[in-house]
Structure 1
Amino acid sequence: MKFDLHTHHFRCGHADGNISDYIEAGIAAGLSVIGISDHTPYFGSEEEQPFPKIAMAKQEFSNYVEEVLRLKQKYEGTIDVLLGIESDFFPEHAETYRHILAQYPFDYIIGSVHSVGNVSIFNKNRWKGLSQKEHIAVKEAYYALIRDSARSGMFQILGHIDAMKGNYPPFSDIPAAKAIDETLEVIAESGIAIEINTSGKTKLSGGWYPSDEILERALYFGVNVTFGSDAHKPERVAEDLDAVANKLLEIGFKEWVYYKNKQKVVVPLK
């Protein structure tokens, strides 16, 4: 059984295609389940759409939900369309996000840390001139936020947990093994999943999020895993799905999961 839980569309301002384009791509890829999970609006801002190239406008949010629910009915019997969302995690705005998201019938919510210290994790210029000690402090702050997101109880899935390497590959070499292990332990205790996200290949780092090394530690701590292409173009739906499944089997995983009605569904890897 094949699934992809992480897809976007035009409303976020940096993806191509309509929701139906991604569903059709999922059908063509042989998926049984596809999750639509565009970026939440910036609910922590008073502006309607402070970052139009990053996230949808607030007034589009209900339209997004309604469209996915309509398409869920349309494609019933052909492919199971799940209503998801990718939510930023800002500790100072967490309760605002929690309150708004609770008003909609999401099958799952992906929690993603996209900024540390009010700077995008993908901004490679943030690293210029930093000492080794400062590099470590930034990486530890990143994982502290991920731990907080896991503890929040807001999410079923945590998105791309080493994506800070995306436009700065040396991130992976910054020593922070203790912080990563602590983070994986908290995620396991929280009973939520991490995604293997294949969009890393669209960044300077290439490959997937997270690294094989982190996945090995995730298995050790008993963390659930799921799959998301993080497709911003329909042709990327389910990209590398079979290769990811084979890698997980090689590492020692026996199963992965997806979420429907916020309930975990376990799927054997083979």
Structure 2
Amino acid sequence: MKFDLHTHHDRCGHAEGSIRHYVEAAMKEGLSVIGISDHSPYFAKKEDQAFPHIAMAKSAFTPYIQEVLALKQEYADRIEVLLGLESDYFPDVLDAYQAAYRQVPFDYVIGSVHYVNGISIFNRNRWKKLSEAQKVDVKEQYYDLIEQSARSGMFDILGHIDAMKGFYPEFSDIETNRIETTLQVIAENDVVIEINTSGKTKDVGGWYPSDDILEKALYYGVKVTFGSDAHVPSRVGDEFEMVATRLKEIGFKEWACFRARERYMVGI
């Protein structure tokens, strides 16, 4: 079964195309399942759309849900459309996000850490003038937030768990064993991690997470899924077969898909 659980569209302000464009692209690529998972609004902010080029407006949230549900019905005999969301994890304002999600019939929610100490993980300037010890501290804070998100009970999937390397490839070389602890926490809380192929669009190239993290994930019993993190329809399902082949080589035999917040496993 071919699927893609991580896609965006034009509501977030930095992706191209409508939801329908992504559904049609998925059909063209031979997918059985397409998950729509645009960036959650900043629910704790006063503004309707605090960051217009990063995430959808609060006023766009209900129309987003309604549109995905309508397309789910319209395409039901051709492809399974899933209602997902990529949600930021902000531990100090969790209540605002939990309240917004409570009555929504999501198929799954992806939890992603995009900020550490209020600075984007993709901001390459954050690393300038830091000592080696300070770099270790930042990396460990990043993984602490991922651990917290795994424990929160809010998420079915954790997004791109080493994406901090996106515009700073040296991130992977910062020495810390924290990833070991993080994977154990993820396994203990039975949350899935994604193999996200959007790293190819960043300086680092390749996928998130790296092969060595995937090998550790298998060792600790962490389950995996697939997401292209497509921001243009042409990337839907991007490198699905390559990821499947690599996972088999590492030793994975199955990966996760979702329906109505229930996980089911399919063979790779």
> Aligned partners of 1:16 and 1:87: how far apart in 2?
19
TM-score, L = length of structure 1: 0.99
How many angstroms does 1:98 deviate by? 1.1
3-state SS, counterpart of residue 147 of structure 1: helix
Secondary structure of the 2:217 match is helix
Q: Which amino acid aligns with 1:166?
A: G
Partner of 1:257: 256
Cross-structure match for 2:228:
229
Alignment of 1:156-171 (within 5 A): 156-171=156-171
Residue 84 of structure 2 aligns with which residue? Answer: 84
Distance in 2 of aligned mates of 1:232 and 1:139: 26
Q: Distance in 2 between matches of 1:242 and 1:95?
A: 39
How far apart are residue 68 of structure 1 and its match?
0.1
1:183-241 deviation digits (Å, cap 9, x = unpaired):
00010111110000000000000000000000000000000100000000000000000
- Point out where structure 1 has 5 or more consecutive residues left out of the alignment: none
The whole-number CA distance in structure 2 between the counterparts of 1:217 and 1:5 is 23
The alpha carbon displacement at 1:77 in A equals 1.4
Amino acid paired to 2:221: G
Unaligned runs of 5+ in 2: none
Helix, strand or coil for the counterpart of 2:122? coil
2:5 corresponds in structure 1 to 5
Aligned to 2:47: 47
Kindly state the Cα deviation for residue 96 of structure 1 after the two structures are TM-superposed.
Answer: 1.3
Displacement of 1:103 in angstroms is 1.8
Compute the displacement of 1:95 (Å).
1.8
1:140 partner SS: helix
Q: Tell me by how many angstroms 1:16 deviates.
A: 0.1
Whole-angstrom distance in 2 between the partners of 1:184 and 1:157: 13
CA distance in 2, matches of 1:46, 1:148: 25
For residue 243 of structure 2, what is the aligned residue in structure 1?
244
Q: Find the aligned partners of 1:77 and 1:144 in 2 and give their Cα distance.
A: 43
* Structure 2 residue aligned with 1:149: 149
SS at match of 2:84: strand
Q: Distance in 2 between matches of 1:133 and 1:189?
A: 29
Residue of structure 2 equivalent to 1:139: 139
Cα distance in 1 for partners of 2:130, 2:223 equals 35
Amino acid at match of 1:248: L
Q: Percent identical across equivalent pairs?
A: 62
Q: Distance in 2 between matches of 1:51 and 1:252?
A: 41
Aligned residue type for 1:162: D
Letter in 2 for 1:181: E
Q: Which amino acid aligns with 2:25?
A: A
Deviation at 1:154, TM superposition (A): 0.1
1:1-270 equivalences under 5 Å are 1-176=1-176, 178-269=177-268
Aligned amino acid, residue 99 of structure 1 = A
Q: CA deviation at 1:115?
A: 0.3
- The whole-number CA distance in structure 2 between the counterparts of 1:96 and 1:58 is 12
Give CA-to-partner distance per residue, 1:141-185, whole Å, 9 cap, x none.
000000000000000000000000000000000012x21011000
Distance in 1 separating the partners of 2:148 and 2:113 = 10
In angstroms, what is the RMSD of aligned CA positions? 0.5
Distance 1:93 1:16 in 2: 29
State the number of aligned residues: 268
Q: Distance in 1 between matches of 2:22 and 2:266?
A: 22
Q: Which amino acid aligns with 2:12?
A: C
SS in 2 for 1:56: coil
Deviation at 1:47, TM superposition (A): 1.0
Distance 2:44 2:200 in 1: 30
- Alpha-carbon distance between aligned partners in 1 of 2:172 and 2:98, rounded to the nearest angstrom: 31
Equivalent position SS for 2:263: strand
Instruction: Quote the Cα distance in structure 1 between the aligned partners of 2:171 and 2:259.
Output: 34
